[in-house]
């Protein structure tokens, strides 16, 4: 009976040692490669201005690449059209 207990203990110990040295299934899974960030140099190669919005404001960027790097959403190709300027009306009072 004593011999069976010793053999069983050795078997459990060997199984535990094998489990500890083998890599886990999670470690074997390949992580998806992150998309490489587009280098800023390529932004200088594109020279088509775009109109983009960021924070509710329209801005003209040198290219869509610069707009994306700034976190803006491209609205249209070409520069943004200038907003109408507010004119100051002259009051009806005449200077004396």
State the DSSP string of 59-79: EEESSHHHHHHTT-EEEEESP
53, two tokens: 């919005």
Dump pLDDT digits (tens) for 79-91.
998 866 666 666 6
Residue 45's pLDDT is what?
79
61 band by pLDDT with thresholds 50, 70 and 90? very high
Q: What's the CATH code, domain 41-81?
A: 3.30.60
Cα(60)–Cα(53) distance, integer angstroms: 9
Residue 75's pLDDT is what?
94
Dump pLDDT digits (tens) for 4-58.
888 888 778 777 777 666 566 556 666 666 666 655 667 877 789 999 999 999 9
Give domain limits for the chain: 41-81
Tell me if the pTM is above 0.85: no
85, two tokens: 């300027």
Under 8 Å between Cβ of 75 and 57: no
Cα(38)–Cα(19) distance, integer angstroms: 43
């Amino acid at each position: 009976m004593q011999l069976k207990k010793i053999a069983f203990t050795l078997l459990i110990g060997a199984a535990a040692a094998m489990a500890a040295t083998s890599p886990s299934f999670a470690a074997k899974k390949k992580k998806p490669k992150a998309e490489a960030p587009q280098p800023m140099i390529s932004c200088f190669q594109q020279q088509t201005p775009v109109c983009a919005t960021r924070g509710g404001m329209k801005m003209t960027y040198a290219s869509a690449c610069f707009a994306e790097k700034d976190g803006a959403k491209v609205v249209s190709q070409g520069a943004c059209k200038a907003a109408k300027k507010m004119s100051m009306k002259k009051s009806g009072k005449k200077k004396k």
